[in-house]
Amino acid sequence: MNTLLVSVKGREKRLAVVKHGRAEQFHLFQPAEQSHVGFLYYGIISKVEKGMNACFVNIGLEQNGYLHRDQLPGHQNRPIEQIVHQGQKIIVQVIKDGTETKGPRLSATIEWPGEKLVYLPKGGYTALSKKVDQPNKRQRVADWAKSWKQGEEGLILRTAAFDATEEELASEGERLRKEHEQLVKAAIMTKAPALLREKPLLIEELFARMQSLQTGEIICDSADFLSALKKDPRYHENQWRAHYHSVDEDLFSANGMDSELEKALKRVVWLPSGGFLVIERTEAMTVIDVNTGKFTGKSNQSQTVLLTNKEATIEVARQLRLRDISGIIIIDFIDMFHDRDRVTIEKLLKQEVKKDPKSVSIREFTSLGLMQMTRKKTKPSILETVTAPCPTCHGTGRVKSAETIAFELERKLLEYARDEQEAIVVKITQEVKEVFVGEQHQFHHQLEELLHKKIIYRLVDYPTPLGEIIRTGTVAELSTN
C-alpha cells in the first residue's frame, strides 16, 4: 500500500512517501530554503563571456544566473557571441539553485513537465523513456511524436505515455503548448527582469510521486488543499483516495513519521541481521561504511559477508532516497572473498537504484574495494535542510537549526487549538524566537489569533537552538510566574 502524507499546516510544508508502512522519502519545504528550480524568468543578458562560452543573465535575484552556450536552443556549437548579445531579453528556466557565491544555473531550452510527457517548445528532439523496452510500443509513441510536433518543438515521452492513447497524449501536449504560448505573450508585456512562473514545489513533487507510484492514498491536514488537488486535471480518483486528517495531533506524529525523520538524521542505521551502516557526510562526498556488527551468521564467513553486504545494498539505496543524499557517494562494503560476490552486489545495487526518482550513476569497485556512485542533486538534503553546523564544536557536528526548531514548535502549538486554556508558556532561545515570531511579530500575532491564546515567552541561554512548551493556564497565573 502506497501512502502520501501531506502536511501544509504552518510555514514548513512536508511530504512523506510511505510504502507498506515504512518511510521511503521525505520532502521538506522551508521558506528560507525554497528552491527556484523550474522557475521561469524574463531576464536580461548582462554580460557575455567568450572564454567561458557562457553569459550571465539578470533575472532579478541577488546574483545573476549562469547560462552556458549548450543550454541555448539551436546553438549548433557556434560561439556564444554569435547567438546572444549583451542587453538581450530572454526567457530562461532555473535548472540548479545558486549558492552563497554562485548564481543559479539557467537554461533557455524551456521544459513544461506533464504527467505523460515533457513539452520543449524549442527542444528540437524526441526522447523516449528507457524503462519501456517493447519495440512496438516505442515505435508507436515515436511515430505519434513525429506527427504531432511542429517546427523546433521537442518532446520527452515518460513511461506513462506508452500506455496512453494518442488522444490523451495530444490533449496533454496541447495544454502544455498553450501554457507556453500564454507565457511568451505575458513576457512581451512585462518589464525585465521578472519572474514569469513560480513552480509550486510541493504540488509538483506530490504529482511526481503520484505518477511514479500510480495508486494509493493521500492523507492531508488541510481540507482546502485536498479540494484544490482534486480539481487538478492530473488527479485521478480511480487511482488515488484522498483523506482529510481532521484530528488535532500533528499528521506526521500521528503516523510515526517524526520518529522516522529523526532516524534519518542519525549516523548509524541498523540492518535486519544485526549489521549496520555508518553514514558520514563530508564537504566533498558522502561515505557509507558497512559493518557486520553483532551478526556472525550460521554458515561460513564468506556467506555471512555476502548476506550483510546484500542487506546493506538494499538499505543504502533506501537511505539515499530517504535522506536525499546527492553528489559523490563512496560505499565501503565488507571485503568479499570472491569476484562473483562483488558482481552480485553491483547487480543488486543497480537493480535497487531503479526505484530512485533521481538519476543515479554507479561506477565500479575501485582497487581498494570501494564502490563509487553519484546521485543528482536538485535541492538540499534532509540533513542540510533541518540542521545547522554545531556552534559548540565549531562545525564538526550538526544540530537542528533555529528554523527547524521554530517550525516544530509551531506545529506543537497548533495541536492546542481546541484546548480551553487562555495562555501557553514556551521556553525558547533568542535565535529560535526571532524565526518564530517573524518580522514585527507577524507570525506571533497570526498564531495567537489562530489559537485564541496568548503566547508567553521565557528566554533561556542554551548552547543549541531550543523551543518547547512548558505550561498552559490562564493569562493571570502564567504572567506572574
Q: What is the pLDDT of residues 214-234, one digit of tens each?
A: 899 999 999 999 999 998 888
Side chain identity, residue 184: V
From the list 300, 304, 316, 303, the residue with the least C-alpha distance to 348 is 316
User: Does pTM top 0.85 for this prediction?
Assistant: no
Assigned fold of 2-34+215-253: Nucleotidyltransferase; domain 5 (3.30.420)
Contact 233, 20 (CB under 8 A): no
Give 58-86 pLDDT, tens digit per residue: 999 989 999 999 999 989 899 999 999 99
Q: Which residue has the higher pLDDT, 151 or 390?
A: 151
Contacts 24+ apart (CB under 8 A), 101-104: 102/63, 102/66, 103/56, 103/61, 103/63, 103/64, 103/65, 103/66, 104/36, 104/59, 104/61, 104/63, 104/65, 104/66
Close Cβ partners of 310 (under 8 Å, ≥ 6 residues apart) = 344, 345, 348
- Tell me the CA end-to-end span of the chain in Å, nearest whole number: 50
| Fold topology of 40-107 | OB fold (Dihydrolipoamide Acetyltransferase, E2P) (2.40.50)
Please compute the mean of the pLDDT values over residues 152-180 and round it to a whole number: 94
What is the pLDDT, as a whole number, of residue 293? 75
Rounded CA-CA distance 26/21 in Å is 14
Task: Grade residue 370 by pLDDT with cuts at 50, 70 and 90.
Answer: very high
User: What's residue 255's pLDDT?
Assistant: 94
* Distance separating alpha carbons of residues 231 and 18, to the nearest angstrom: 24
In the chain, ranges of CATH 3.40.630 domains: 264-375
Residue 298 has pLDDT above 70, yes or no: no
What is the pLDDT at residue 294? 65
pLDDT over 80 (residue 396): no
Residue 389: what pLDDT? Answer: 80
Instruction: Give the architecture-level CATH label for domain 401-479.
Output: 3-Layer(aba) Sandwich (3.40)
Where does CATH 2.40.50.140 sit in the chain?
40-107
Distance (Å, whole) CA 207 – CA 201: 10
Q: What is the pLDDT of residues 110-149, one digit of tens each?
A: 999 888 999 999 999 999 988 888 999 999 999 999 999 9
Above 70 in pLDDT, residue 297?
no
Residues 90-101, mean pLDDT to the nearest whole number: 89
111, 71 Cβ separation under 8 angstroms: no
pLDDT of residue 459: 95
Positions of CATH 3.30.420 in the chain: 2-34+215-253
Q: In the predicted model, is pLDDT for residue 1 greater than 90? A: no
C-alpha distances (whole Å) from 350 to each of 338, 343, 377 are: 19, 11, 19
**Which one, of 212, 189, 180, 171, lies nearest residue 73 by Cα?**
180
What CATH number is given for 264-375 in this structure?
3.40.630
Could you tell me if 110 and 121 are in contact, meaning their C-beta atoms sit under 8 angstroms apart?
yes
User: How much is the mean pLDDT over the chain?
Assistant: 91
pLDDT band for position 337 (cuts 50, 70, 90): confident
Tell me: domain 112-197, CATH 3.30.230, correct? Answer: yes
| Orientation of helix 430-437 relative to helix 402-414, angle to 10° | 60
- At residue 33, the pLDDT reads 67
